[in-house]
Amino acid sequence: MLDAVEALAAGLERLAPGRFDLLHAQDCIAATAGLRLRERTGIPLLRTVHHVDDFATPALVECQRRSIVEPDGVLVVSRTWRRTLRRDFGVRAEVVTNGVDAARFRRPPDADGARLRRRVGATDGRFLFLTVGGIEPRKGSLELVEALARLRRCVEPAPVVAVVGGHSFQDHGPYRERVLARARELDVAMGRDLVLLGTVPDDEVPRWYWAADAFVFPSVKEGFGLALLEALAAGLPVVATDIPVFREFLVPGEHALLTPPGDPEALAEAMASLVRDPRERGRLAERGPALAARYRWDETARQHEAVYARMVALRSRRGA
């Protein structure tokens, strides 16, 4: 990690003089490099904290702490994390919301997901749930496997869960092995019931939303839940966990079915209700695009521009 910080700081120092008014970092490594750049050049640092990780390695714990408490400005993407940073770090952060490219994810009338459905075995009437984010603790992957095992016993034919993504800054190898071992114990077959797609080409991402019948997102921790917005924009009915950050934009029962985090039985029941009830799926799917349309990237950009302008003006006054 230290080598990465040094390399990034050196590269930034070569680029920055006279070219940039501030540096905006999205993670603790980039922020640490930015702090070193600030020491050498005076360029202020802005950090967006998407969520606080439960690091165990002392170096990463300290990297995260410094990247939250030492920048010149801190942004978060939800009110939940603004409260957390104030409580746990004494930092006053400003909320700049996420957005979604609604036009990119809007399901076209001629969308045909047959090829992708065949790829994961969602044929012959098998219901396809999509989730995004890989196998890791904060995504509730173990609970999803437990729920899928329950679902296989009460729904015929058994549904398929396809998982897109999986690249992570942290090593979730031990947790992943635990999840896969539990899947084997429960006779949840990899490649048949649970399909791990990994990172897919960017232009293929919307097509997975269009190919799916519903979206499931059993996270126990999120910064905001951008994948939820993408699913809503695509007109997918959603099952998610009832955590504070989702409550900031989802109304339970109106925009999604919300279940207690860490409760695979409740998750399975909600998933089963979508499989069995096409009217419920249609009702939720109809409301998703309008909600997603409230969160636009151009508004996110406008909020960032206002923050940048204030920071640059403050630096100019201090310099004067």
158 with 247, same domain? yes
**Confidence at residue 116, expressed as pLDDT on a 0 to 100 scale:** 97
DSSP-assigned letters across all residues of 197-221: EES--GGGHHHHHHH-SEEEE--S-
**Confidence at residue 7, expressed as pLDDT on a 0 to 100 scale:** 80
Band of the pLDDT at 59, cuts 50, 70, 90?
A: confident
73 with 220, same domain? no
pLDDT tens digits, one per residue of 168-220: 656 677 888 999 999 999 999 999 999 999 999 999 999 999 999 999 999 99
204 with 262, same domain? yes
- pLDDT of residue 14 exceeding 80, the answer is no
In a domain, 37, yes or no: yes
268 with 305, same domain? no
In a domain, 131, yes or no: yes
288 with 301, same domain? no
> For 66-76, what is the mean pLDDT?
97
220 with 234, same domain? yes
Measured over the CA atoms of residue 292, residue 283, residue 237 and residue 124, the dihedral's sign is negative
> For 268-279, what is the mean pLDDT?
96
Q: Are 254 and 232 in contact (CB under 8 A)?
A: no
DSSP-assigned letters across all residues of 220-266: S--SS-HHHHHHHHTT--EEEE--HHHHTT--BTTTBEEE-TT-HHH
The distance from CA 151 to its chain's CA centroid, rounded to whole angstroms, is: 25
87 with 199, same domain? no
**Confidence at residue 320, expressed as pLDDT on a 0 to 100 scale:** 46
Find the domain containing 119 and state its range. 102-292
185 with 217, same domain? yes
The conformational region for residue 155 under phi > 0 = left, psi -120 to 50 = alpha, else beta, is beta
Rounded distance, CA 161 to CA 189, Å?
11
pLDDT tens digits, one per residue of 117-139: 999 999 999 999 999 988 889 89
116 with 167, same domain? yes
Domains contained in the chain, number: 2
In a domain, 56, yes or no: yes
Residues 6 or more apart whose CB falls under 8 angstroms from that of 96 comprise 48, 75, 76, 77, 300, 303, 304, 307
In a domain, 25, yes or no: yes
16 with 83, same domain? yes
pLDDT tens digits, one per residue of 136-173: 898 999 999 999 999 999 999 999 999 998 766 566 77
Band of the pLDDT at 17, cuts 50, 70, 90?
A: low
Model pTM?
0.91
In a domain, 320, yes or no: no
Q: What is the mean pLDDT of the chain?
A: 92
87 with 7, same domain? yes
- pLDDT of residue 3 exceeding 80, the answer is no
83 with 196, same domain? no
CATH of the domain at 75: 3.40.50.2000
* % of the chain beyond a pLDDT of 90: 79
DSSP-assigned letters across all residues of 81-137: HHHHHHHHH----EE------HHHHSPPTT---HHHHHHTT--TT--EEEEES-S-G
The conformational region for residue 225 under phi > 0 = left, psi -120 to 50 = alpha, else beta, is left
